[in-house]
Amino acid sequence: MLEYNISGTSVAHTKAEFEVRNHLYKFGITPEDDSASPADLLVGAFAACAIKNVERFSKMMKFEYEEAKVEVNAKRQDKPPMIKEINFVLSIKSDDPKLNLPLLQKNIEKFGTIYNTLNQVCEIRGEYKLID
């Protein structure tokens, strides 16, 4: 089993940050701060999971691609506050005939850590498409 160890700190009424693998990430804790919120970071982790898995499965499925892009829209309910719905479009620029888009979709949805975690608590709908 993998473990993740993160440390975070805040200075009251001003700023907050956490460290992951010697990289510092700042985030907003006050309404005046326009930095990414924890919810933004969660949705960003979902986007990162999709992109990382395109790279991961391109090696396993032996296809080439030039670029992958994901656009994510998440909906938050107020009471209790939580992400209820995630909609996304994952676009891949590739002319490789070995790219099997339905199989890539199946693999991302079966083996994506963040995808599977969020899928337990909210509805996820995605579109996978090839772009020129």
29-33, 63-67, 108-112, 117-121: which has the minimum mean pLDDT? 29-33
pLDDT band per the 50, 70, 90 thresholds, residue 112: very high
List the domain boundaries for the chain: 1-36, 38-131
CATH placement of domain 38-131:
3.30.300.20
Whose structure tokens read 């990382």? 52
Whose structure tokens read 């200075």? 11
pLDDT computed for residue 44 by the predictor: 97
Q: Residues 62-103: pLDDT tens digits?
A: 999 999 999 999 999 999 999 999 999 999 999 999 999 999
For residues 119 and 47, give the distance between their C-alpha atoms in angstroms, rounded to a whole number.
14
Pairs from 93-96 (Cβ < 8 Å, separation ≥ 24): 93/65, 93/66, 93/67, 93/68, 93/69, 93/130, 93/131, 93/132, 94/63, 94/64, 94/65, 94/66, 94/130, 96/63, 96/64, 96/65
Whose structure tokens read 């991302």? 108
The enclosing H or E element of 12 equals none
Tokens of 111: 């083996």
Q: Residues 1-48: pLDDT tens digits?
A: 999 999 999 999 998 999 999 999 999 999 899 999 999 999 999 999
| Count of other CB atoms within 10 angstroms of residue 48 | 13
For residues 81 and 79, give the distance between their C-alpha atoms in angstroms, rounded to a whole number.
5
pLDDT computed for residue 132 by the predictor: 83
pTM for the whole structure: 0.93
